[in-house]
Amino acid sequence: MPTFSFELYPPRSAAAELALVDSLVHLARVDPEFISVTYGANGSSRGASLAVLKELLVLGIQPMAHLTCVGSSYSEATRLIREFLDSGVRSFLALRGDPPEGTSEDDVFLGDLRSAGELVQLIHHVQAEREPFSEQDVEGFPGVKRLRTGERVTIAVAAFPNGHPRSRSVTQDLDTLLAKEAAGANLAITQLFFHAEDYLRFVDQARAAGVTMRILPGIMPVLSSRRLERILELTGEAAPVELQRRLSVHASPASQAAVGLDYATELSAEVLDGGAPGLHLYTFNRSGPVLAILRELGLITTVREPA
Ligand code: FAD
């Protein structure tokens, strides 16, 4: 059975906070594998992200904390990781993050960690330091001991089926992903994309390059022409002509939302048919659209009362 997981962002107002609590309750009821919470550039949302992650722990859902390292020293990044681990978070999405707008790599200090891979290593290091190796008996071999660490952390990383905007070639993106796995990442989540073949081709190329971890497709229901324009601006993805055409035929927000939902549902079905291990759904903090997709695909099997 394919897995599913969701992404949320920390609310920016009291009204948004109330709306998020309502969404959280609905999302938690369908028992996702995890829910990830974004992290504002340069740590701007640290407290708010942590509050949502703690809320997820209370609801009995595995929280995944996005962390960025651009601009941080080793000691700042280490302190941050310890703080999240102390709060009970055991899953991370390790990101480099973007340099402040208008700066180049050469003219400002962008922190001690040069890539997401180095952040993956640091998370493992901090985790191991907190949970030292312990000796365990080996079954069937009296007197023989084996060394074991405590809990295993999930460390996810980002992947870019259509290439990262700053990457020079597909090969560079594949090499970076491979390096992140070698550094200890055990899950990849993709940037949004609009055509199933973009994801499926990328996974084939990643496997050929030696990447073995799961690569979850990031699916975003885009429910209006305005939202689509904004997303293309932010991600640098090429405009999806067919979705643009379908949205442009409709003027009312409700019809545009229905078109966007159908498109995301078709895309999800196609990647699953092509072998995707699950779906990671970008929610914009709303439960309705993503739950409609999962229902349409028959993926909601559990409805439980939150803890
Ligand atoms: P890396 O893995 O280190 O690099 C990504 C790619 O860019 C690689 O292909 C690499 O080769 C290339 N590259 C990087 N730097 C350079 C360079 N200087 N020159 C040439 N090529 C380069 N951002 C946030 O601020 N907060 C979030 O919560 C957040 N969540 C995200 C979740 C997902 C699933 C994704 C896909 C992205 C998210 N981002 C978030 C955006 C992310 O911070 C940016 O994509 C950032 O530009 C790169 O981070 P990374 O971890 O992918 O970097």
Q: Which of 64-73, 115-124, 131-140, 276-285 has the lowest mean pLDDT?
A: 131-140
| Residue 45 CB–ligand 1 contact under 6 Å | no
The whole-number pLDDT of residue 13 equals: 93
Contact 307, 60 (CB under 8 A): yes
Longest Cα–Cα distance of the chain, Å, equals: 74
Pocket test for ligand 1, best of 39, 96, 112, 281 (most atoms within 8 A of CB): 96
May I ask the CATH class of domain 3-297? alpha beta
The whole-number pLDDT of residue 142 equals: 76
- Express each pLDDT in 239-295 by its tens digit: 999 999 999 999 899 999 999 999 999 999 999 999 999 999 999 999 999 999 999
Place of tokens 């709060």: 87
The closest-lying atom of ligand 1 relative to the alpha carbon of residue 163 is 9
The whole-number pLDDT of residue 102 equals: 76
The closest-lying atom of ligand 1 relative to the alpha carbon of residue 172 is 11
- Express each pLDDT in 38-94 by its tens digit: 999 877 889 999 999 999 999 999 999 999 999 899 999 999 999 999 999 999 999
Contact 199, 161 (CB under 8 A): yes
d(CA 165, CA 234): 10
| Residue 66 CB–ligand 1 contact under 6 Å | yes
Pocket test for ligand 1, best of 166, 174, 285 (most atoms within 8 A of CB): 166
Dist. CA 67 → ligand 1 center (Å):
11
What ipTM, to 2 d.p.?
A: 0.94
Contact 165, 139 (CB under 8 A): no
Token readout for 11 is: 């609310």
Give all strands of the β-sheet with 154-159 in edge-to-edge order: 214-216, 187-190, 154-159, 91-95, 63-68, 35-37, 3-8, 278-282, 218-219
Token readout for 94 is: 């390790």
- Express each pLDDT in 8-34 by its tens digit: 999 999 999 999 999 999 999 999 999
The whole-number pLDDT of residue 274 equals: 98
| Residue 250 CB–ligand 1 contact under 6 Å | no
- Express each pLDDT in 197-239 by its tens digit: 999 999 999 999 999 999 999 999 999 999 999 999 999 899 9
* Residue ID of nearest Cα to ligand 1 atom 17: 166
Catalytic residues: 7
| Residue 280 CB–ligand 1 contact under 6 Å | no
Q: Give strand pairing partners of 219.
A: 281
